[in-house]
């Protein structure tokens, strides 16, 4: 970026070169901050749609020099009205790859790497290498997955405080028509996505009798094909909303059903919106929310200002209205807390403890074959066979002897989990054992 004309970064320098009353606690003004942004910091943008395009542009123009972007979708003609990095000749190409190319063409000196694929297809070490992760997603499931991955990196010290070196901050943005939100998630410090799942309203559902017998809208026709007709005609094949062939079939069948009941308005884009529960995107909302997210990313990276605390809502239906709320972290969150508390008798064996885990209603449907470690030591591993054989003798040993009288944190891994489940074990009847501060961790 040294080839840029003088003054290119003067607005950023005004934030990074001067002290102030609103700066973060560790802010040290100086030219090193911009150098760090351009050469050291790595940011991952997840999603290259309407919000993701805005995020990439804003981050590159804010001085971030090394950006990665991942998206599993290819460009469709319907994207071109708001996803401004794409052109007609790009239709059919991966969004992430094209977005990376366009940003590098327009912002000289920035390095953007596009990754075409599912976020679940990347190993945890891929996400661990980034200093900040910015989310431009339209799926609760995808947000939940990334939240679980980043929180699984989190480790706690003996005094119960999070280890700063294991924190990967997230900046999350989302839009629904003229409404949107931006939030900062610092695992272990602020509420994680799982802590505030209640913020998201349940998806719209329709009575099956209406879908089957008296459809009255295009959405009814689409949902009938999606929920009923698909299973009748494609027995044993799971519908994949991200498969273009599956979506095209639903659209064509919904169109036929709409004609039978004299219903108009079934389109391919509406089919996508109903099946994926997508609310039409507004370009201006994407721009406003992305700008807020990019600013928060800059704050996290440089501490040039205190971070948002911790959730901003934007409503543009009747003018411009924003409101920031400080939500509280759930101390018993199974994803980001120091550990879900379990009090057990000191005579309980490791095998009995595993049985208690599987019976605990808090972990229902979350565990099948758990493996357990403590302070970096594998107490029992379900796989591979060589580790199972090596740790199998521990199953008959008292957990008290394997962990020590103070109890502490057990890290539980399972193929059903998206991350690590931390369990804070306290032994009943042991003097001074009941201590809500976790002791140790992987």
* Active site residues per annotation: 209
Cα separation, 70 vs 47, in Å, equals: 6
Partnered with residue 343 across adjacent β-strands are 426
Distance in angstroms (rounded) separating the CA atoms of residues 106 and 91: 20
**Tally of CB atoms within 10 A around 374:** 21
Measured over the CA atoms of residue 203, residue 206, residue 211 and residue 212, the dihedral's sign is positive
Which structure tokens are listed for 394? 């521990």
Residue 63 tokens read as: 């001085």
The full length of the chain comes to 442
Encode the chain in three state secondary structure: CCCCCCCCCHHHHHHHCCCCCCCCCCCCCCHHHHHHHHHCCEEEEECCCHHHHHHHHHHHHCCCCEEEEEECCECCHHHCCCCCCCCHHHCCCEHHHHHHHHHHHHCCCCEEEEEECCHHHCCHHHHHCCCEEEEECCCHHHHHHHHHHHHHCCCECCCCCECHHHCCCEEEEEEEECEEEEEEECCCCCCCCHHHHHHCCCCCCCCHHHHHHCCCCHHHHHHHHHHHHHHHHCCCCCCCCCCHHHHHHHHHHHHHHHHHCCCCCCCHHHHHHHHCCCCCECHHHHHHHHHHHHHHHHHHHHCCCCCCCCEEEEECCCCCEEEEECCCCCCCCCCCCCCEEEEEECCCEHHHHHHHHHHCHHHCCCCCCCEEEECCEEEECCCCHHHHHHHHHHHHCEHHHHHCCCCEEEEEECCCCCCCEEEEEEEECCCCCCCCCCCCCC
Which residues on adjacent β-strands are paired with residue 325?
A: 311
């Amino acid at each position: 970026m040294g080839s840029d004309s003088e003054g290119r970064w003067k607005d950023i320098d005004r934030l990074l070169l001067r002290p102030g009353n609103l700066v973060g606690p560790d802010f040290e003004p100086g030219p090193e901050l911009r150098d760090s942004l351009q050469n050291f910091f790595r940011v991952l943008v997840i999603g290259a749609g309407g919000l993701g395009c805005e995020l990439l542009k804003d981050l590159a123009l804010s001085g971030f020099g090394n950006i990665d972007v991942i998206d599993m979708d290819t460009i469709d003609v319907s994207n071109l009205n708001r996803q401004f990095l794409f052109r007609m000749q790009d239709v059919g190409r991966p969004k992430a790859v094209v977005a990376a190319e366009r940003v590098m063409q327009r912002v000289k000196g920035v390095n953007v790497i596009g990754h075409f694929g599912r976020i679940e297809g990347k190993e945890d070490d891929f996400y661990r290498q980034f200093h900040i992760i910015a989310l431009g997603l339209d799926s609760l499931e995808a947000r939940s997955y990334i939240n679980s991955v980043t929180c699984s990196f989190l480790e706690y010290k003996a005094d119960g405080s999070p280890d700063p070196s294991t924190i990967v901050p997230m900046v999350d943005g989302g839009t629904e028509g003229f409404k949107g939100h931006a939030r900062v998630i610092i695992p272990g410090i602020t509420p994680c996505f799982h802590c505030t799942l209640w913020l998201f309203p349940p998806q719209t559902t329709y009575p099956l009798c209406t879908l089957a017998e008296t459809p009255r809208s295009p959405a009814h026709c689409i949902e009938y094909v999606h929920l009923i007709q698909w299973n009748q005609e494609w027995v044993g094949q799971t519908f994949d909303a991200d498969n273009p062939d599956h979506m095209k079939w639903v659209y064509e069948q919904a169109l036929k059903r709409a004609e039978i009941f004299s219903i108009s308005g079934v389109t391919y884009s509406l089919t996508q919106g109903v099946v994926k529960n997508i609310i039409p995107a507004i370009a201006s909302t994407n721009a406003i929310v992305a700008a807020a997210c990019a600013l928060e990313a800059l704050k996290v990276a440089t501490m040039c200002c205190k971070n948002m605390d911790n959730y901003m809502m934007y409503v543009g239906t009747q003018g411009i209205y924003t409101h920031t709320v400080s939500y509280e972290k759930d101390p018993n969150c199974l994803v980001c807390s120091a550990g879900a508390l379990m009090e057990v008798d000191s005579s309980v064996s490791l095998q009995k403890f595993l049985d208690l885990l599987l019976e605990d209603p808090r972990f229902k449907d979350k565990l099948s074959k758990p493996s357990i470690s403590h302070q970096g030591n594998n107490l029992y591993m379900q796989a591979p066979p060589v580790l199972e054989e090596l740790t199998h003798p521990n199953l008959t040993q008292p957990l008290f002897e394997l962990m020590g009288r103070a109890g502490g944190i057990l890290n539980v891994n399972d193929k059903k989990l998206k991350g690590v489940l931390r369990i804070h074990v306290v032994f009943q009847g042991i003097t001074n054992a009941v201590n809500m501060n976790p002791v140790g961790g992987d």
